Amino acid sequence: MKNKLKFLLQLNKLNEMPRAYWRMRGVKNPETVAGHIFTLLLMAWIFAREGRSRLNLNKLMEMAICHELTAICTGDTTPYDNILPKNKKGKNEILKRWPLLLEKHKKAIFKEDFKKEEKAIAKIVSSLDHSFGKEIMKLWKEYRSKSSPEGQFLSQLNVLAVLFTGLLYEKKNKKFSVAPLWEWFLQSSDNPLILKIGEEMKKEFYPPVKKK
């Protein structure tokens, strides 16, 4: 019981950790990592029931909870971390687009990040009993490597969760643009259900202007 409480206290750090991407974009009082996890969890619960989905809903929701736990040790990271210049003008220019990398560079970055995050998740679950820790590790690995239907679906749903939050920020502040996130969505999504949800979001947030 004591070890589980220790684990819970570690997770609580995510309640106070702002999402790095929103901070880069100048969002005041941005969503936290825990807030993002909750949004993704809700989206998994709601949308995985659609159509002919044969996904294991319980597994999908547990995976959503586990998917960002590594941030406890690594901090929240973004694809921009290694490419942003220090000067504000150059930084703002790069942030206008989603990073477009060559496939070999993507693979190299993934390999490096996976290695760091695997060590982080192992450390985070080390206080838990073996079976529970192993379960969390397995769910996290399936998500990061997209090695199961649930991992593949959640990876694309995660992009939608970020886009959804961005659309809410854009609605509040017209100077804020989610164009880079739409680019990310289009680059990373091929699941028919994910694409359908994206289309519905577009209709909801960008309704056609009524002619007078």
Q: Long-range CB contacts (< 8 A, 24+ apart) of 29-37? A: 31/165, 33/68, 33/71, 33/76, 36/68, 36/161, 36/162, 36/165, 37/64, 37/65, 37/67, 37/68
> In the prediction, which pLDDT does 51 show?
65
> Is 158 contained in some domain?
yes
> In the prediction, which pLDDT does 21 show?
97
> Is 92 contained in some domain?
no
> In the prediction, which pLDDT does 90 show?
85
Domain count across the chain: 1
> Is 182 contained in some domain?
yes
Instruction: Say if pTM beats, i.e. exceeds, 0.75.
Output: yes
> Is 164 contained in some domain?
yes
The identity of residue 112, as a single letter, is E
What are the φ/ψ torsions at residue 174 (nearest 5 degrees)?
-65, -15
Counting as low any pLDDT under 70, the low residues of the chain are 51-52, 211-212
> Is 88 contained in some domain?
no
> Is 85 contained in some domain?
no
> Is 193 contained in some domain?
yes
Supply the CATH number for residue 24's domain: 1.10.3210.10
> Is 93 contained in some domain?
no
Give me the domain span that covers residue 22. 2-79+98-205
